[in-house]
Amino acid sequence: MPKTAVVALGGNAITRSGQPGTYSEQAANARAMAVAVCSLRDAGWNVVLVHGNGPQVGNLAIQQDEAADVVPALPLFCVNSMTQGQLGSLLSLALLAEGHGRLPGVVSVVTHVIVDRDDPAFGRPTKPVGPFFGEEQARALAAERGWEIVRDGERGHRRVVPSPRPVGIVEVDAVRALIDQHMIVVAGGGGGIPVVAGDRGLEGIDAVIDKDFTAQRLATSVNAEALVLITDTEKVQLDFGTPDQRPITDMSVDEAMKYLDDGQFPDGSMGPKVRAAVRFVREGGTTAVITTAERAGASLDAGEMPGDDLVGTRIVAARR
């Protein structure tokens, strides 16, 4: 029976730093991701792919605002669903092309994710979306459009929106059924379309859910053996940015929590990935990996571990 890996990649992997985000750029980046996913598939894994959408949903929201005098602007949760369709198509086409006819199928599932209406995140926006702006332009946009704007590292200022924690995956049974058919599944795109319970059922609410937390919730819900969190860093670093910076290959969940408590992994950096990895293992998962796409397969090798120069960072219940 093939094992299942849920793989999460960021929207920044599809629109990379310094790129304007043209379709051809996004398609080329999607093809690079497809190589890594198909490699996992060739190694015997069922794969569920979860993607972020921070750059794309922010850009599309700007298009909505700019065209509001011609056609009505749609709410943020609806814009999120539009990026699910766009990026789901992009990744599906890339996977089909890379699969060269050897895949049983690739299915992109429009995925709704339940959140708590009373989540404190709704009163404290933290999720960056869209492009970077200079300080003057950012202040003008904040005043004109009512945006929350923060400085995001050295590259400038960005809009931030609420990012509540996922509580449940509405389409989880459909995802399980597709895994049973050995399909590659694209699900939970952009962290999922956030919904809450309303008088007539589920209804959308404006937010962007962190895709790493949604990937963890989905991985746990489908009883996946592995959670792979793709980043542009080969390994998690301790004492990052200091002369004592050093990579770490294996962490137990207890060690990871201690490092989190010590402030080694800030929320604006590796914090969400490490927290998602810890939660996945604590809720029954076997292995969580944080690494680049190129190292994902070697990091999940169940046999003799390859050399440290080939793998990323693994989080397990207890180190061997």
Catalytic residues: 11-12, 127, 211, 273
> How many other C-beta atoms lie within 10 A of the C-beta of residue 126?
14
Q: How far apart are the first and last CA of the chain?
A: 25
Mark residue 239 as left, alpha or beta (left: phi above 0; alpha: psi -120 to 50; beta: remaining): left
Q: For residue 79, report the phi and psi dihedrals to the nearest 5 degrees.
A: -60, -40
Q: What is the CA radius of gyration of the chain?
A: 19
Q: For residue 113, report the phi and psi dihedrals to the nearest 5 degrees.
A: -120, 125
CB 52, CB 213: distance < 8 Å? no
Helix (H, G, I), strand (E, B) or coil at 67: coil
Q: Within 13 Å and on the Cβ side, how many CA atoms surround 251? A: 25
- Alpha helices, H only, the chain: 23-42, 54-66, 76-99, 135-145, 172-180, 211-221, 253-261, 271-282, 296-299
Q: What separation in angstroms does the CA of 150 have from each of 24, 29, 138, 159?
A: 30, 27, 9, 7
Count of all residues that appear for the chain in the document: 320
CB 83, CB 129: distance < 8 Å? no
